[in-house]
Amino acid sequence: PSLVRPLLNIPEASSSVLMRSTLVTAVKFILIVTDLDAGTMTRFTTCRTRYDLPDVAYFMVPSQETTISLVNTTTATTTNNDIESALRAGNPPALIDFLSRLGDPELSVRRAALVALNTVAHHRPSLVRPLLNIPIQLPNSPHSSTLLDMLCSETVVRKELIREVEMGPFKHHEDDGLDLRKCAFECMSTLLDTCLDKLVIPSFLESLIDGLKDHTDIKLLSYQILQRISIIRPLEISAKMEILAVPLKAVLLSKPKDDWVKQEMEKMQELNRSAIGLIVSFRNIDDIDKNRHYTELLRIINTDSNLKTIYMQILSAENSSANSNLSNTATGPSTMITSSGFGVSNPSRSLGVVGGAGGYIGNFPSSYS
């Protein structure tokens, strides 16, 4: 990094998109390789594969196990420490010079910076956590921003990146910013795992809710992240339920078109399942059954037999998993049968009742019997 950093600010880099992208990408590979060498040496001595590093291929045969010495491990650890020291050095730290390229005017450079941010958040979260919310001077600009603000700005659909393409008598739209937005949402997912205490969850939620109106791939990513937030920050989800219910309702009410092919039908079914999976996760939020936007979503599900079936399948799977975990404890919820179907009774809170034939899906207070 100490050799690469000065190159970012030379005139040649200012005029070369490829050079800036390459320099930022170099930091990503430095982090991956040093993390592999220092942190996974024992994995390779037993010939295990590191599946979470698809960018770098490493091979080892059993006969190599005995060739790895203590000297190699010590050298790798020293190199790892040197890399971290180099990225922390300076004021602002050297790492900022690379990650601030999130504000670069060129799409490919911003994508490289997003991938670098995702990599450092995954492999070296301690390096990036102190930097997420500090003002950063944008490259070649009088303005400043934060890494989190720049990350959230990359989740927005940009009309100037959408172009119309003619294919014979047909026309369709190509979104050159889609891949960039995917990278941004994947980075948000990583930060949720490693830097939760540094995140501004309301801003995160706004970007995720907007993601529910985006391309199918972005919608699915947003559903996954929102489900996790509903578990770790349920009150934040409850506070946003009014605006969150709008795109959820749109998915639930969508109907297939007569000319849709099989692939389009499958996409719709996948979106329905993801949306309902998110709604199922809401049921454990305190007093959620008093939220009219949530109960309206349940009403829509109950009026459609297909949606209701999906809801019951997801809830049944979650309850089975919960009951399996509870079977190892002395106390826990007990199953009860009601006139409308099967449910779970808990002294403090009900997990909900799944309606049987003609029954209703929803949450009930713990006194329900």
Average pLDDT over every residue of 55-78: 41
The token pair that represents 84 in the structure block = 């971290």
State how far the Cα of 118 lies from the Cα of 186, in Å rounded to an integer: 8
Using only C-alpha atoms, the chain has a radius of gyration, in whole angstroms, of 25
What is the reported pLDDT for 314?
94
Q: What's the rounded Cα separation, in Å, for the pair 206 and 177? A: 19
The more confident residue out of 22 and 223 is 223
Tokens representing residue 319 in the block: 């309850």
pLDDT exceeds 80 at position 315: yes
**According to the model, what pLDDT value does residue 16 have?**
87
Q: Is 218 exposed, middle or buried (0-12, 13-18, 19+ CB in 10 A)?
A: buried
With pLDDT > 90 as the criterion, what percentage of the chain qualifies? Answer: 49
Contact 128, 37 (CB under 8 A): no
Mean pLDDT value of segment 125-141: 88
> Do the beta carbons of residue 217 and residue 178 sit within 8 Å?
yes
- Give rounded-to-5 percent helix, strand, coil for the chain: 65, 10, 30
Say if residue 98's pLDDT is above 60. yes
Least confident range of 16-20, 25-29, 42-46, 227-231: 42-46
pLDDT for the residue numbered 145: 92
Band of residue 343 on the pLDDT scale cut at 50, 70, 90 = very low
pLDDT tens column, 164-223? 888 888 888 899 999 999 999 999 999 999 999 999 999 999 999 999 999 999 999 999
CA-to-CA separations, 273 to 164, 279, 306, 309, 335, in angstroms, rounded: 31, 10, 10, 10, 25
- Write b or e for each residue in 75-87: b if 16 or more Cβ atoms lie within 10 A of its Cβ, otherwise e: ebeeebeebbebb
Q: Check pLDDT > 50 for residue 363.
A: no
The predicted pLDDT at position 274 comes to: 96
364, pLDDT greater than 80? no
State yes or no: pLDDT of 335 exceeds 80.
Answer: no
pLDDT at position 52, please? 40
Mean pLDDT of the chain: 78
Query: In angstroms, how far is CA 54 from the centroid of its own chain?
Result: 18
Residue 287 carries which side chain, given as an amino acid letter? D
Instruction: Please give the C-alpha separations between residue 162 and each of 132, 159, 172, 174, 282, in angstroms, as whole numbers.
Output: 30, 5, 10, 6, 35
Q: Is pLDDT above 80 for 157?
A: yes
Confidence at 3, pLDDT banded by 50, 70, 90: low
**Worst-scoring range by mean pLDDT, 138-142, 146-150, 162-166, 180-184?**
138-142
For 27, residues 6+ apart whose C-beta sits below 8 A from its C-beta are 1, 4, 87, 95, 98, 116, 120
- Confidence band (pLDDT; 50, 70, 90) for 259? confident
